[in-house]
Structure 1
Amino acid sequence: MIAVCSIMSIGFIFIQFFSDSPAQLFVGQLVNGCIIAFYPICASAYVGEVTPLVLRGFAASMTNLAFSIGSLIASGILKGTEPLETVMSYKIPIATQWALPCIMLFLVYFCPDPPYWLCRKGRYDEALVSLRRLTTPTVDVTHKLAHIRETLKLEESFQGNRPHYLECFRGPNLRRLLICVMAYSMQAFTGNIFFISYAVHFMELAGLDAADAFSMNLGLTAIGFVGTCISWFLLSYIGRRTMYLFGCTALALLLFAIGAVDLAPRNNSSSAVVWAQCALMLGCTFVYDLSLGPFCYVLLAEVSSARLRGFTIALATVSCFVWSVVFAVVIPYAMNEDEGDWRGKMGFFFAGTSALCAVYCFFWLPETRGRTFEELDVLFERRVPSRRFARYRVDIVDASRGGMANETPACSA
């Protein structure tokens, strides 16, 4: 799938580069954007299936790091091409897009197929070979293969044999789907389109000239990169639910502050207001890339079941992209002076939605840190309340026999 998407991306970037009208450029960007949507779906599903438990959170967060690195590179390219007054000012950024699909097309064939996928197809010998490529020689991969087969057998006993999209909307799978949808969609609800995608536009509306706005955007993406790297050290010690609660709450406060600062009267000495808002946007980016950004992809890999992981992540991605499109259209109209003229007052709106997201996290977001896929299957199948996930002890042997599990303190889980 990654190889096919890479080939298609290379082709549609040609349409963008050689376009001679806005319509051609739009079509090239639209189709290529649809193809790009497959990458995080494949990445989250692949990471969840090939990484061991101890590395699962770290590896899943690399998806957000990739976004941060891409934004950082793009900001540098846009900063460098901003002074150009020829068509190359936009053709150079478009041409640089060819680099990544070409690199992926070269490297993808060195990646082993996911053992879970091979086992679902009944190709156990190939799964064993794949596991050997994913582990050191001293590890007995037959135990891991048995564990994968047992996990899939347990899910089949709960849900049946042939997975399909409708199955995502039934029983415990519907709950898992809704959690993944909300975990992903909260990226849009907490305003990442506002303080990341439209950062340059907002800063220019606030009063910065184009050069300073692009410089601030470069700093913004660098801070996001640092935040994602710091999150690696938190993944093993702080739960996913805790970081989501922190992220939504902190973003609600920072976004409210952006709106409050915008209420200050505008005069000749309003540069302090402008820089205060820019600083708060930097703070929003840091908090987002420390919490919701990387932890979202960890939750997608952990909450979805092994049988329906690709389907669940795909539906969650589509839902997030729909909200992103809505906000991407609405925000410029709301901010621009000749339309809504909200400018920084958009912070009040996203502060409210972020607060609602924090409420959702408190009541309905489960803690998945340190759980195997087997344990998570049992927890969802027994409809354990989300707030009790961290304290619930699962005996896999009893679970496979239909027995009961006990609720214990977190230290015993």
Structure 2
Amino acid sequence: MEGYDTNLMSNFYPFPMFQQRFGDQVDKDGNPLISAQWQTIINNSGQVAMVAMIGAIFIPFFSTGLPMFVAGAVCQSIPWGIFQTLAVTYAADICPLALRHYVTSWINMCWVIGQLISIGILNGLLSRSDEWAYRIPFALQWIWPVPIMIGTYFAPESPWWLVRHGRYEEAKKAVSSMITPQADVEFDLDAHIEMMRVTTQFERENSAGAHYWDCFRGSNLRRTEIACVGWLTQAFAGTPFMGFGVQFMIQAGLSARHGFAMNLGQTGLGLLGCILAMWVLTRFGRRTIYLVGLGFACVDLIIIGILGIPTESSSTSWAVGALMVTMVIFYQITIGPACYTIVAEIPSTQLRIKTVAFARACYNAGGFITNVIMPRMLGKNAWNWGAKSGFFWAGLAGLFFTWT
């Protein structure tokens, strides 16, 4: 749901009917566009705010101006901020260690599936010339909440959370609901709950608490640093290109039809990358995966920047598009899924929810910054860097490569 919703807005900026209805500036050819300033305000209204979702969808659906989209982004992003943290910690709590990387990397795949759905819908609505070209995608958001609420109602509570609160019998029931008895496998439920209790007690005694301040004490400081930088890598290592992919490719010289088609193709290939990542995560170390992903991003972004130096042409535009596709594929094999696995595995069980929440807050703060500068980099009436902005993001990717 979040992958669909968050991807929708950034791809509306280059959407022809959306530009025609809400454009507040014109380019040098007289075509309407959404200014970099308004793109920044709309994107960051969600970052600042991050079962109000159902009502919040009404706001962008009935929007008559850009300020209403800002209000809609604020209201929708409050539950999104909760989902971002709980998805990772819940997956880590309920999964056995051998399966944890599959489920945590699945979170990243769900993002990509949502993005694929949103870009597919927008691609199919390009030919419409009325207001429903942008209202239909918003209306489709009402599909998500009901099945998610039903699934959440029947989902078991986290047994680790129950153990930390001394509710051992409920923890046993939660664990029992998540296992399938097998004749050739011996599972001692009482011993499993006791292991969880002893682990929790050990971490309490060694961390001397479970407050946010404890995330920055002793060995937990290093854990928090890794979680934060792991997520900040997603925000700064060239990934803003993917969020503004269509706008970037149109700015590079492709038509709106070709830009949306290219983005649809790259998102589909990114989904294949997510599937391949599940095998990669079982064969290679997390740090190795990050280094490969960041190294490839550096090279890819430098080449994109070089292609932005000459005068725009059809051949260079398609070359930039092809490089973006390859970057998305490698990102979804490496940095994208590995980040969720690292963030789930690194914290102690006692401080997991707080470490993940703080790390995600850092990511959202990073997203706030990229949402300010990315529209200006691509805006025809702003900095208008186009493909040359690849140099900037390559430099940041290089810094994260060095840290890793």
State the TM-score bracket (shorter-chain normalisation).
0.7 to 0.9
1:384 alignment partner in structure 2: none
SS at match of 1:236: helix
Aligned position for 1:158 = 206
State the AA in 2 paired with 1:9: M
Q: Which amino acid aligns with 1:158?
A: N
Query: Is 1:334 the counterpart of 2:351 in the alignment?
Result: no
Match of 1:87 among 114, 131, 156: 131
Answer 1 or 2: higher relative contact order, Cα 8 Å, separation at least 6.
2
Query: Deviation per CA, 1:22-74, whole angstroms, max 9, x where unpaired?
Result: 22221011221232122121010001111001100011001100100000000
Verify: 1:103 aligned to 2:147, yes or no. yes
Q: CA deviation at 1:18?
A: 2.4
1:190 is matched with which residue: 224, 228, 237?
237
The CA deviation at 1:168 is 1.6
Q: Which residue does the alignment assign to 1:242?
A: 288
Conserved? CA contact 2:52–2:75, under 8 Å: no
- Offset of residue 309 of structure 1: 1.0
CA contact (8 A) 2:247 2:378 kept: no
1:69 to 110, 113, 134: 113
Match for residue 114 of structure 1 among 154, 158, 164: 158
Q: What CA distance in whole angstroms lies between the structure 2 residues aligned with 1:101 and 1:62?
A: 19
Of the candidates 202, 211, 226, which is equivalent to residue 179 of structure 1?
226
Unaligned runs of 5+ in 2: 3-50
Q: Is structure 2 residue 334 aligned with structure 1 residue 291? A: yes
2-structure distance, mates of 1:179, 1:192 = 19
- 2:92 alignment counterpart: 48
Report the Cα distance in structure 1 between the residues aligned to 2:239 and 2:78, rounded to whole angstroms. 20
Correspondence 1:226 to 2:269 = no
1:145 corresponds to 2:193: yes
Task: Please list, as runs of the form range in 1=range in 2, the aligned pairs for 1:28-43 lying within 5 A after superposition.
Answer: 28-43=72-87
CA distance in 1, matches of 2:304, 2:402: 21
TM-score between both structures, scaled by the size of structure 1: 0.83
1:16 CA drift (Å): 2.0
User: How far has the Cα of 1:120 moved from its partner?
Assistant: 0.5
DSSP 3-state at the match of 1:31: helix
Q: Which amino acid aligns with 1:187?
A: Q
Matched letter for residue 129 of structure 2: E
Q: Deviation of residue 332 (structure 1)?
A: 1.7
Tell me if structure 2 keeps the 8 A contact 1:40–1:63: no
Distance in 2, Cα, partners of 1:13 & 1:294: 29
CA contact (8 A) 2:56 2:76 kept: yes
The list of structure 1 runs, each at least 4 consecutive aligned residues, that deviate by more than 3 angstroms after superposition, is: none
Identity, % of aligned positions: 35
* Superposed CA RMSD: 1.6
Please tell me whether residue 216 in structure 1 is matched to residue 262 in structure 2: yes
Q: TM-score, normalised by structure 2?
A: 0.84
| Correspondence for 2:303 | 257
Cα pair 2:293 2:330 within 8 Å, conserved: yes
